[in-house]
């Protein structure tokens, strides 16, 4: 089926929001996952629960807290606006933040499980050969955790594509600015005669999500073959 210009714009914006939300989450997700997998510290269980909180909280609650914090009158939002001229509420950048936060726990969990499966002896052997902490991480840990990293990134990306509650609460449903695919489907269900368009958009969402999962499986298999070669 041929897509209309409006549908192309919705898909473009959805991919843009998901891409930047996931990309900006990767460094922090790796750091948090490594901290939880390799270190024991006071309050670790509480920190772990806080990281995974978006998985169990209603997305609307997450969006409301983002609005309180990053809205124009929020403490952080007002500071960003006054000193840097940055406004994220009711902007696509705010949608990316909401999507990134909702997908963050999935990325952290996948990376953490991958790190925990790595033989610590390999890292210890590299250190005994004179490699520093950062060199061990980039030459031993990172290559071996790639399957989990790819899985986490693609799961987070797929979750970001489907994000609705936090997004509509934080940045509203503004055409060509924050109206991602789920919000566009919702908008079509609210107008008379919009069922056909809602169905078209829903099918597009299924196709995009399936493509992300298939891509994830392919990347994980490649990473696993690479890791086996690295072990050899």
User: Could you report the per-residue pLDDT of 189-232, keeping only the tens digit for each?
Assistant: 988 888 889 999 999 888 888 887 788 778 777 777 766 665 55
pLDDT at 228: 65
The structural domains of the chain, ordered by start, are 5-231 (1.10.3720.10)
Using DSSP's 3-state secondary structure scheme, residue 44 falls into helix
Query: Is the separation of the CB atoms in 213 and 159 below 8 Å?
Result: no
pLDDT at 129: 83
pLDDT at 227: 61
Query: Is the separation of the CB atoms in 166 and 102 below 8 Å?
Result: yes
Instruction: Identify the residue with better confidence: 3 or 80.
Output: 80
Q: How far, CA to CA in Å, does 77 sit from each of 21, 100, 166, 179, 202?
A: 18, 17, 17, 21, 33
pLDDT at 210: 85
Average pLDDT over the chain, rounded to whole?
89
Tell whether the model's pLDDT for residue 109 goes beyond 60: yes
pLDDT at 124: 86
- Interaxial angle between packed helices 5-38 and 195-231, expressed in degrees from 0 to 180 and rounded to the nearest 10: 40
Q: What is the pTM of this model?
A: 0.88
- Kindly report which listed range (59-63, 129-133, 140-144, 179-183) carries the lowest average pLDDT score: 129-133
């Amino acid at each position: 089926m041929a897509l209309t210009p409006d549908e192309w714009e919705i898909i473009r914006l959805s991919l843009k929001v998901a891409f930047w939300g996931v990309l900006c989450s990767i460094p922090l997700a790796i750091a948090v996952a490594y901290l939880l997998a390799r270190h024991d510290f006071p309050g670790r269980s509480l920190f772990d629960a806080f990281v995974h909180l978006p998985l169990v909280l209603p997305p609307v609650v997450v969006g409301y807290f983002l609005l309180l914090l990053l809205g124009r009158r929020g403490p952080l939002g007002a500071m960003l606006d006054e000193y840097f001229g940055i406004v994220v509420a009711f902007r696509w950048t705010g949608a990316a933040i909401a999507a990134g936060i909702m997908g963050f726990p999935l990325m952290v969990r996948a990376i953490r499980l991958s790190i925990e499966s790595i033989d610590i002896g390999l890292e210890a052997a590299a250190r005994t050969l004179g490699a520093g902490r950062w060199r061990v991480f980039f030459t031993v840990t990172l290559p071996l955790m790639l399957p989990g990293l790819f899985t986490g990134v693609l799961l987070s990306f797929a979750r970001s594509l489907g994000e609705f509650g936090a997004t509509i609460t934080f940045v509203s449903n503004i055409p060509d600015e924050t109206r991602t695919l789920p919000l566009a489907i919702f908008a079509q269900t609210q107008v008379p005669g919009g069922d056909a368009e809602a169905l078209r958009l829903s099918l597009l969402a299924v196709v995009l999500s399936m493509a992300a999962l298939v891509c994830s499986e392919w990347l994980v298999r490649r990473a696993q073959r690479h890791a086996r070669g690295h072990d050899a």
